[in-house]
């Protein structure tokens, strides 16, 4: 039996709907997904009890999907099953996103659950190489994409982010803990005249089962509104939510949507 450990956004429902049998939906309190009713709601302070409950229900596989705000641990709310995990929680909360997620993944695997990635459960979401819409990248955009890829490879090794904004051969913005939408919003005032691109790819050695980069119609719409010339992603390494809608929006606004096949 499969359980989805879900957070915010549209992706949890897409993954749930793609399964042959309905998965168990487990929502971290305060991070409800779009249009998906939870079977269980839990807190970080009750994670131990959740693990016991999942085992009792016959769950064998889990998948983490959706956005989750970094929680704050309330010692007074800990239950008996979760108290032994506190040292691991404290270690995770001190680390960057990827390091923290690896610790959470390790907790589930040591409890006996198989952790599966979204790309395993819904392979069609993974970006295939090519230009998706009518607008094609020019030589300048291709050079900027190379700059973006090199920057993510360099800065991502420090667990900083999965996206950057590039214009004229220079990185002018980098994703932080606030996420890609916040990055796009910050760059809106400078993007149009600079013919900037949003570049998105996994960080080096990223744990693919738990935090693979994602774009969707909201990303394309926000980039278009901010005046970006294009969105470039790494083929095979980024999830694309509602591919058809993304292409339609890119064509409507005349921006490039390109899944790059590079290093």
Residue 190 buriedness (CB in 10 A; 0-12 / 13-18 / 19+):
middle
Beta carbons of 183 and 165 less than 8 angstroms apart: yes
| Secondary structure class of 36 (helix, strand, coil) | coil
Among 121, 136, 166, the domain-final residue is: 121
Question: Closest by alpha carbon to 4, among 63, 68, 44?
Answer: 63
pLDDT tens-digit series, residues 165-180: 999 999 999 998 788 9
CA distance 182 to 247: 22
CA distance 67 to 200: 16
Among 92, 121, 150, the domain-final residue is: 121
Full domain range(s) for residue 193: 126-260
pLDDT at 68 over 80: yes
pLDDT at 69 over 70: yes
Together in a domain, 153 and 213: yes
pLDDT tens-digit series, residues 127-161: 999 999 999 999 999 999 999 999 999 986 676 78
Together in a domain, 157 and 225: yes
Check residue 25 and give its pLDDT. 98
Between 216 and 157, residue with greater pLDDT: 216
Between 69 and 133, residue with greater pLDDT: 133
Check residue 151 and give its pLDDT. 94
Check residue 263 and give its pLDDT. 55
CATH code for the domain of 225: 3.40.140.80
Together in a domain, 156 and 256: yes
Together in a domain, 113 and 139: no
pLDDT tens-digit series, residues 72-125: 888 899 999 999 998 988 888 777 666 677 788 899 999 999 999 999 999 999
pLDDT tens-digit series, residues 4-57: 999 999 999 999 999 999 999 999 999 999 999 999 999 989 999 999 999 999
- Strand segments (E) across the chain: 2-6, 24-28, 40-42, 61-65, 114-115, 130-131, 163-167, 170-174, 197-200, 214-215, 230-234, 239-240, 256-260
Together in a domain, 254 and 139: yes
């Amino acid at each position: 039996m499969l359980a989805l450990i879900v957070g915010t956004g549209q992706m949890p429902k897409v993954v749930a709907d793609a399964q042959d049998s309905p998965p168990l939906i487990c929502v971290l309190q305060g991070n409800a997904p779009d249009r998906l009713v939870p079977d269980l709601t839990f807190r970080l302070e009750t994670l131990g009890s959740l693990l016991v409950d999942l085992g009792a229900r016959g769950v064998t596989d889990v998948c983490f999907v959706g956005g989750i705000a970094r929680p704050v641990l309330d010692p007074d709310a800990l239950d008996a099953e979760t108290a032994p995990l506190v040292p691991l929680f404290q270690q995770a909360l001190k680390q960057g996103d990827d390091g923290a997620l690896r610790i959470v993944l390790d907790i589930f695997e040591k409890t006996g659950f198989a952790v599966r990635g979204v790309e395993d459960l819904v392979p069609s979401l993974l970006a295939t190489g090519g230009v998706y819409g009518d607008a094609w990248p020019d030589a300048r955009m291709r050079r900027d994409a190379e700059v973006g890829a090199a920057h993510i490879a360099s800065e991502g090794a420090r667990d900083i982010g999965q996206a950057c904004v590039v214009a004229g051969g220079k990185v002018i913005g980098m994703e932080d803990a606030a996420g890609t939408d916040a990055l796009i919003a910050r760059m809106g005032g400078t993007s149009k005249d600079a013919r900037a691109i949003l570049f998105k790819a996994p960080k080096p050695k990223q744990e693919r089962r738990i935090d693979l980069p994602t774009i969707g119609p909201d990303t394309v719409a926000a980039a278009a509104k901010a005046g970006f010339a294009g969105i470039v992603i790494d083929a095979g390494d980024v999830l694309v939510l509602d591919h058809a809608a993304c292409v339609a929006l890119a064509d409507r606004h005349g921006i490039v949507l390109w899944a790059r096949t590079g290093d």
